[in-house]
Every structure is written in structure tokens, then in C-alpha cells.
Chains A and B, each alone.
Chain A
Amino acid sequence: MSASVAKANALSVTRADVEDFLYMEAALLDEWKLADWLALFAPGARYWVPPAGASDDADPATTLFYVADDYHRLTERVKRLGKKTAHVEFPHSRCRRMVSNVRIVSGTDDAFVAMSNYVTYRSKRGITETYLGHHRYTLCRDGNSIKIKHKTTFVDTDDINAQGKVSIIL
């Protein structure tokens, strides 16, 4: 095995690194620092939210998702949520994200898959909604940091009748 192949197959990132990264990501979202959050994504990255109860291999080409953003639309989503005319999130809801069960599943520094469980609370006008599920990330090492290439947020409830929308970034 050549040296370059060995290097490409290596993963120098630890679970603790990923945990630090995901906790930071959650904090940026909780604090509505969405431009900083967007900067965690590599150009060309995607952000998906399949319908409640979807399997891990769900594909927006054949399944009706809630969110299937390419990088352009993700950028536009962040712009939108910064406007007062994004009525559903003006004034901004209060949110708090719990992230746990972090695992690195597979991969190399160029692209590795990490999973986590989440519970996200969104509170507005006296009503607190609870989202729960798991995230699947494709991440890559970027110098001393990490970038997101693809984030998929699975909502692990039967439906979203109680929440009614995915108006925040989960």
C-alpha cells in the first residue's frame, strides 16, 4: 500500500473532536448565529430533512422530504431566516438543542460519517414543541477544524402533527 493511499485511508479525527464540533454547531443554532453556522459547511454541501419516520437511505429524488437543500438553497434559507418577513420565525423562537450518542461510523479525513441523537425544543407564544431524532453527518477534516459536507436530520416521530413545521434548522 503506497504512502498516499495509507494517508487517504486514515482518520485522525477522534470522537471527542466530533463532539466538540457538534456541540459548537448546536450552540450557534441555539443562539441564532446562522451565518456562522453556514460557515461550518463546505461549499457544495447539502442539508436534508426527510419526512418523519423515513429510513436512513431515503433519497429526495424519489421521496417527498421536508427539506432537501443544495448549497444555494441552504444559503437562501439562512438569508430568509435572517429577515423579519420570515414570519414564522419572527420574533425568533427560543430553541435549545440536546445532542448525544455521538459515534464516528466510518470514513477517512476526506469524508467520514458521524451519527448523533438529538432532542430539540422550540418555544414560542407559550407553546413548546419537541423534535426528536438523529443526525447523520458526512464530515471532513479542514486543517485543524471540521467541515460539514452533508447533514441529514431524521425526525423519529410518527408524524409532525404536534410540531406542524420544520421552520428552524434542526
Chain B
Amino acid sequence: MGAVAAEPLIEPYVVEDERRGLFRVNRRVFVDAAVLERERALIFDKCWLYVGHESEVARPGDFLTRTVGGRELIFVRGKDARVRAFFNTCPHRGAMVCREKSGNGTMFRCFYHAWAFDLQGKLVARPGTERYAEGSNADGVHDLVEAPKLDAYRGLYFVNYDRRAVDLVTYLAGATEFLDLVMDQSEVAMEIVGGAQEYGFAANWKLLCENSIDGYHGMPTHATYFDYVMASGGQLGENLTIVNRPNDLGNGHAVIEYGAPWGRPVAKPVKAWGEKGDADTAEIRARLEQRFGKARAERIAYQNRNMLIFPNLVINDIMAVTVRTFFPVAPGQQTVTAWALAPKEENAVMRERRLYNYLEFLGPGGFATPDDCEALALCQRGYNNLAMASWNDISKGMKEQNPTIEDEAQMRVFWREWHRRMSGAAS
């Protein structure tokens, strides 16, 4: 890792020309295996990476297995109610100890030689254990290896493979304000609903970072979605204090805040929900107002938020709330996992509206996400021309004092941090 960090960058990857108002990214960053190798060392091995939500391991013994930053993890709540992350590899010969996607149990047993570990990762049984020298596991070399750092912010668990990394809250910086606007939608706690959507597509992972907070592509890419919303009684609504602004949240995190014609389960009704929808959302807003006052309640209820937490966590609080993370498997290929997040106490009708909303825009069968993936795959294919057409442009709104979400200030936040880390700057 140190050797990789010490190598100089050979060519400029991100070029910012304030005088001309130009911000450009070298297309090599999307196709070069050496860039990906450097990203693994300087970004994925250094940054806080999202693993899962507390509700997915709600009870002692609940576990799930995930691939996070190219590493195989077991994410488990122990008998002591603490959540831990272990590398899913047997200390004996290396086989993956847990083969299930999720479950509840009291121990993990590697089937190869039947070494068994408790939920705290301690070796508790193995055939022929008397043949091992006394004290050979005194320092835990025969226990599961725990991830260097695991921490949570309001139910979101992150792992960090760098022992020297700054603490999670410091890392999240200004993003906590916007995470609070999402998590405050519940008086109890938010929860992941109904599993995950796992998919993938042929485009570099950074293109999805950009796309997830891109307010410029909405109308041209998603015209059919807006056709559908309007055909289904969508409306911008009245009495809304609409803001339209990007925010630099520090450390490469960015968010756009804006109003939109779709309904929000917390809590903006649309005609399609009828009078019952008006009443349900009014009640939710009234509770929010009691807890937070009118201004914050309206901000939570009416404003949409698309947030990128550097490098690869997206929380989009739009017609539903989606949590999405994605990892490169090759320069031109990524895997995506997406979840729906909702207040635990949400009633059945509102929950149904939420999931209905989610599917109409989001995910592999939505009216929008497949067109995003298509756009990004076409970008990737276009980079076959990079030797003679070498630059991406991210200049929109460079000279604006008050950029809007249709500008590209929020993507520049991502790229500056990407460039800073890839240049070998300390984390």
C-alpha cells in the first residue's frame, strides 16, 4: 500500500481551470486497471465503507455476509448485542466460514475441518484440538479476524480497513445534518424493508457516484418517468418552500436538495393517494412539527435529498428512501446493492405506497434506473475512444455564485476529493 501511495501520478486526472471556468476529468480514470488498483489502496482501503443497517441484524445471533470493498465479511450481532464485522475466512486454511447470505445462529462452523467459532469470533471447538500445543491460541491466532474498525451513525454501520482512520462522525462531516433529516422521519428507528435489489452493469463505479446526485440529467434521461408521474396525478404541490441547491458536506460528500412532483411517504401527498393520503401525510407532518418545529418539519417532509457519502454510499430520500452502495469488480464493471429504508412505525397503507413509489422509479425494473444504467454503459463504451477523445466535462455552473442542482458543483466536490486521495494526500 505504501509503495502504491508513493508512486507519482503520471498524467493529470482532474484538471480545474478556474479562469476559463473548465473542470475536466481524464477518461483514463474509468478504464485503467492501474487506476483501479490505486483506488483500492488509497480509497477503498482508507475510507469508511457502508456495510449494513442495524435493523438487518436486529436480534443477537442475526448475521449476514457481504462483499465490501473487495473483501468478504460476516456482519453479526453477538450474544452481548454488539455488532461486529469479521473477515469471512477460516484462520486454519482460509475457507469461507459462513456460506449463507443471512440467518440467525449461535456459531459459525467451517465445514472443511469443522473449526467452530462463537458470535464473538472466538474458536470454541475443533476436532482433535488436544493435538494442538497448549497456549498455541493464546493471542487469538486461531480466532476469526475482526475488521480493523466498525462504527455506526444512526443505524448505518460502516467498516474501515485502516486502523489509523479518523472516527466515523469526523469522517461524515456535514453529511450528518442530512442523515439526520432522513433518520428523524421515524420516532422509533428506521428499518430496511423487504431485502435488497442486487444488480450490476458495465460501467465504472464513479459514473454512478456522479449519476446519483446529478440534477442535470433528470428531464432528458427520465422523460418517460415524468410522463408517468403526470399521468398518475403527480403535482408539485402548494405552499412549498422549494429550495434548489447543492451542498458541499466536506470530505467529498455532497447532497442536492430540491422539490419534485412525486409524492413522498414522509410526507407529501399526491392526488393518486386520495383524501386518505392527504389525511395520513397531514398527520405525519403534524407529528414532525411537534418534534422539530414547522420549518424543519416542512424541510423533512417536502424536500428531496440525493446524497453521496464518499466514496460509494448513496442515500436518496426521494419518492421513497433508497440506500445504495456499489463496488468496482473491474474498471468497466460494477455491482450494486440497493435497499428501501422506512420508519418502523409506518402504517401498512403508507408502507404499500412507499414500496409502490420505490418500484416506479428505482431498481432494475423501475421506470428510471434502467435508463441511468444504460446511459452509464454508453459512457463506458464511449471511452473506447479515449486516446483521441480524452476528457469528461464537469464545468456546468463553474462561475455561478449560487449554483442549482442542475449545475455540477456537487460532482466537482466528489472529484476534488477523489483527486486529493489519489494524489496520495493523507486521509
Contact = CB atoms under 8 A, between A and B. Distances in A.
Interface string A62-86: 1111111000110011011001011
A61 B195 contact: no
Contact of B358 (A62, A64, A88): A64
Decide if the interface of chain A is mainly helix, strand, loop or mixed: loop
A73 B197 CA distance: 20
Contacts of B228: 73, 76, 80
A96 to B, nearest CB: 20
Contacts, number: 105
A88 B371 contact: yes
A162 B200 contact: yes
B195 A73 contact: no
A29 interface: no
B231 interface: yes
Given A61-B348, A87-B374, A160 B364 contact: yes
A64 B335 contact: no
B355 A164 contact: no
A133 interface: no
Contacts of A61: 348, 351-352, 355
A163 B352 CA distance: 27
Interface in A47-67: 49, 51-52, 60-67
Which bracket fits the contact residues of B? 35 or more
A132 to B, nearest CB: 16
Nearest to B348: A61
Given A51-B195, A86-B224, A65 B373 contact: no
A166 interface: yes
Nearest to A126: B381
Contact of A85 (B193, B195, B200, B223): B223
B224 A167 contact: no
A83 B225 CA distance: 11
B231 A166 contact: no
Contact of B194 (A63, A73, A86): A63
Interface centre among A64, A83, A88 (most CB of B within 10 A): A64
B339 to A, nearest CB: 7
Contact of B359 (A66, A79, A127): A66
A159 B374 contact: no
Contact of A83 (B224, B363, B374): B224
Interface of A: 49, 51-52, 60-68, 72-73, 76-77, 79-80, 83, 85-88, 125, 127, 159-167
Q: Which 6 A-B pairs have the closest CB atoms?
A: A66-B365, A161-B200, A67-B365, A88-B374, A164-B201, A64-B194
Given A66-B359, A167-B374, 18 more contacts: A51-B196, A60-B359, A61-B355, A62-B193, A64-B340, A64-B358, A67-B359, A68-B359, A73-B228, A79-B227, A87-B375, A88-B373, A88-B374, A160-B198, A160-B200, A164-B201, A164-B202, A165-B370
29 contacts: A51-B196, A52-B198, A61-B348, A61-B352, A63-B194, A63-B195, A64-B193, A64-B194, A64-B196, A64-B197, A64-B358, A66-B359, A66-B364, A68-B355, A73-B360, A76-B228, A76-B367, A83-B227, A85-B224, A86-B371, A125-B381, A160-B364, A161-B199, A161-B335, A163-B199, A163-B364, A164-B373, A165-B364, A165-B370
